[in-house]
């Protein structure tokens, strides 16, 4: 190897490794600073179990809604030739880049007691959403759905149009084609999109604390639990962070070989 | 890869690295660069001090040409946590003396001085939809009450208030700091919030205050202290303790210790 090509290779390798270290070091720091001998005690802190239970519940409900609404939406985005489709796709992806706290303010302005729809909901049905578990689910849907729709749309777009055409010639209506042909063929895409959306819902913080507030067992999800306990019981915060880190690594690790390419 | 391509890539990589190092170095530089031309004083203060400390800082800057006061306002417990973890700061001003307990001993460069006190008040939206008339209404059915989370001083004070009153009201949300609590009331999402008297005064027309009888109320003392050796730190504390600083605090509804 000539000196020149070695320098050139280093010019790429050095920043690449700095990049890796920048992301991985803080994750390792969590492991280093954890109080391992007493980790069981810290994991038994009420905030850990309570907030993880709430996160499990809200992210599950979120996924049911995301599957129900997101799958047909992805299919329409993938197959529509309408010029407005591109705008629709752009709009649905806004929460991907929007600061979550802005999403929370937007949800409050819509569904709050003085919100555009929330005021009507309260006077007509007596339903108020802020400070409820339902508000947590709404915040999670808002931030997570775009991840799912974009992944699934990509998979559906790659599907040969001839499959739906053949199904149609065999007499299947659009709904039956969608259910029996399209969805089974894009299952890997659905799995990948679901995992990404679920992980995003699990990590949601800004929109939740803004729109749903923070109440143990009702609106205090795992990330809010980390934030609240950091000041009183930092080791419980670290223990809870470790659980979330483990879950994130497992989710992405499972996707790594099969679906995320 | 063509030679020019490789060169461009190398140049980009070098530039990127240079940019990264400079920006990291800039981030790592201490906020107090007393030797330089413009001097900066970093003050971390409790959220309830937001408005009044902006005025105090303006007074201080007017008297010290070339000095910039940088302030950050958050929950007192967050401030102590940040300073313990190495956040650059020269002066910290906290709500509640017990907030100081977790502060690392090596950071206590000056003795903490209590510079003012504050009491609690109920904040309600201007139109008071739930008809909150006093502390007896905190346990009314169906009202949405917000308080600070128990980890921050205003949350501890609220809990002490409930103990004084002998009640355990339903709470809709435990907010991260006093201003977040106030804003839930200001937006009309909460019917009532437990905040400091001064927060109600600072909120303006969107919020009305309901007094808490002195016998039940909780008095919070506010300590200030230097956490860096900057000579400006003591000067800023002197400004807070001065007649002008105390007047600013009194105007905002704080009470001299």
Residue A259: which pLDDT band, with cuts at 50, 70 and 90?
low
* pLDDT given for residue B15 in this prediction: 44
Q: pLDDT above 70 covers what percent of chain A?
A: 97
Residue-wise pLDDT tens digits, B109-131: 878 999 999 999 999 999 999 99
pTM above 0.90, yes or no: no
The pLDDT of residue A258: 61
Q: What is the pLDDT of residues B52-105, one digit of tens each?
A: 999 999 999 999 999 999 999 988 988 998 898 888 899 999 999 988 998 999
* pLDDT tens profile B183-200: 999 999 999 999 999 999
Which range, of A17-21, A123-127, A257-261, B173-177, averages the lowest pLDDT? Answer: A257-261
Report pLDDT for A2. 63
Mean pLDDT, rounded, of chain B = 86
Residues in chain A: 261
Interface test with B, best of A130, A221, A227 (most B CBs within 10 A): A130
Distance CA B78, CA B89 (A): 13
Residues of A numbered 37-96 whose beta carbons fall under 8 angstroms of chain B's beta carbons: which are they? none
User: Counting Cβ atoms within 10 Å, is residue B256 exposed (0-12), middle (13-18) or buried (19+)?
Assistant: exposed
Give pLDDT tens digits for B4-24. 444 444 444 444 444 444 444
Please give the Cα distance from A59 to A55 (Å, whole number).
6
Check whether B25 has a pLDDT greater than 80: no
CB contact under 8 Å between B172 and A131, yes or no, is yes
What are the structural domain ranges in chain B?
Answer: 40-117+221-251, 118-219
Within 10 A of A85 (CB to CB), how many other CB atoms are there?
14
Q: How many CB atoms lie within 10 A of CB B42?
A: 23
Q: Are B46 and B76 in contact (CB under 8 A)?
A: yes
Query: Integer distance in angstroms from the first to the last C-alpha of chain A?
Result: 32
Q: What is the ipTM, given to two decimal places?
A: 0.79
Q: What is the mean pLDDT of residues A59-84?
A: 94
Predicted confidence at residue A49, as pLDDT, reads: 93
Among A28, A242, A210, CA closest to A105:
A210
In angstroms, the CA B149 to CA B178 distance is 9
Which region among A39-53, A103-117, B32-46 has the lowest average model confidence (pLDDT)? B32-46
Among B14, B81, B151, whose Cβ lies nearest the Cβ of A11? B14
Task: Identify which of B13, B150, B187 has the shortest CB distance to residue A112.
Answer: B187
Among residues B31, B115, B24, the alpha carbon closest in space to that of B72 is found at B31
Which residues in chain A are closer than 8 Å to B149, comparing Cβ atoms?
A: 214, 228
Helix ranges (H only) for B119-256 are: 153-165, 178-186, 197-203, 231-241, 243-251
Nearest to B227 by CA among B112, B73, B72, B63: B112
pLDDT at A257: 65
Say what percent of chain B tops pLDDT 90. 66
Note the pLDDT of residue B6.
46
Query: Any idea which residue has 């923070």 for tokens?
Result: A214
Cβ atoms of B180 and B80 within 8 Å: the answer is: no
CATH code of the region B118-219: 3.40.190.10
Question: What residues does A21 pair with on adjacent strands?
Answer: none
Query: Closest Cα of chain B to A115: distance in Å?
Result: 9
Partners of residue B189 in chain A, C-beta under 8 Å: 108, 112-114, 130-131
Q: Do domains B40-117+221-251 and B118-219 have the same CATH topology?
A: yes
Classify domain B40-117+221-251 by CATH number.
3.40.190.10
Q: Does the pLDDT value for residue A181 go beyond 60?
A: yes
Q: Which helix (H) or strand (E) holds A28?
A: helix A3-33
A22, A105, A131, best to mutate vs chain B, most B CBs in 10 Å: A131
Distance CA B183, CA A253 (A): 41
How far, CA to CA in Å, does A56 sit from each of A45, A53, A261?
17, 5, 27
Separation CA B183–CA B177 (nearest Å): 10
Q: What pLDDT, on a 0 to 100 scale, did the predictor assign at position A256?
A: 74
């Amino acid at each position: 190897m000539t000196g020149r090509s070695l320098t050139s290779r280093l010019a790429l390798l050095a920043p690449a490794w700095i990049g890796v270290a920048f992301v991985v070091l803080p994750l390792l720091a969590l492991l280093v600073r954890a109080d391992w001998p007493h980790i069981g005690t810290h994991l038994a802190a009420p905030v850990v179990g309570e907030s993880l239970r709430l996160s499990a519940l809200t992210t599950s409900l979120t996924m049911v809604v995301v599957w129900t609404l997101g799958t047909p939406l992805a299919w329409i985005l993938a197959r529509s030739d309408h010029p407005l489709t591109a705008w629709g796709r752009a709009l649905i992806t806004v929460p991907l880049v929007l600061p979550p706290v802005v999403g929370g303010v937007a949800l409050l302005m819509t569904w709050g007691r003085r919100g555009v729809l929330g005021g009507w909901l309260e006077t007509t049905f007596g339903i108020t959403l802020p400070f409820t578990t339902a508000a947590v689910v709404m915040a999670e849907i808002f931030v997570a759905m775009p991840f799912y729709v974009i992944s699934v749309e990509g998979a559906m777009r790659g599907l040969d149009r001839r499959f739906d055409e053949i199904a149609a010639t065999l007499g299947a209506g659009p709904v039956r084609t969608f259910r029996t042909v399209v969805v089974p063929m894009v299952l890997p895409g659905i799995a990948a999109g679901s995992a990404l959306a679920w992980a995003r819902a699990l990590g949601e913080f800004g929109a939740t604390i803004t729109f749903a507030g923070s109440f143990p067992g009702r609106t205090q999800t795992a990330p809010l639990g980390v934030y609240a306990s950091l000041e009183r019981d930092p080791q419980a915060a670290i223990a809870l962070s470790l659980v979330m880190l483990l879950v994130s690594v497992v989710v992405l690790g499972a996707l790594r070989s099969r679906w995320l390419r | 890869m063509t030679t020019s391509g490789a060169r461009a890539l190398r140049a980009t990589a070098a530039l990127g690295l240079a940019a990264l190092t400079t920006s990291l170095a800039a981030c790592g530089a201490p906020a107090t660069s007393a030797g330089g031309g413009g001097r900066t004083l970093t003050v971390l203060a409790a959220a309830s001090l937001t408005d009044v400390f902006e005025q105090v800082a303006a007074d201080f800057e007017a008297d010290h040409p070339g000095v910039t006061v940088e302030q950050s306002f958050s929950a007192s417990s967050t401030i102590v946590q940040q300073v313990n973890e190495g956040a650059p700061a020269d002066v910290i001003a906290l709500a509640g003396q017990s907030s100081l307990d977790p502060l690392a001993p090596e950071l206590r460069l000056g003795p903490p001085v209590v510079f003012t006190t504050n009491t609690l008040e109920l904040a309600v939206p201007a139109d008071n939809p739930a008809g909150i008339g006093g502390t007896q209404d905190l346990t009314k059915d169906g009202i949405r009450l917000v308080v600070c989370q128990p980890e921050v001083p205003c949350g501890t004070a609220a809990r002490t208030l409930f103990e004084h009153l002998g009640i355990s009201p339903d709470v809709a949300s435990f907010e991260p700091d006093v201003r977040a609590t106030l804003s839930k009331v200001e937006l009309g999402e909460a019917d009532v919030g437990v905040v400091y008297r001064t927060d109600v005064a600072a909120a303006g027309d969107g919020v009305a205050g309901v007094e808490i009888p002195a016998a039940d109320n909780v008095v919070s003392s506010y300590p200030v202290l230097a956490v860096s050796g900057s000579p400006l730190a003591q000067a800023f504390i002197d400004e807070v303790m001065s007649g002008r600083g105390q007047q600013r605090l009194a105007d905002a509804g704080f009470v001299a210790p």
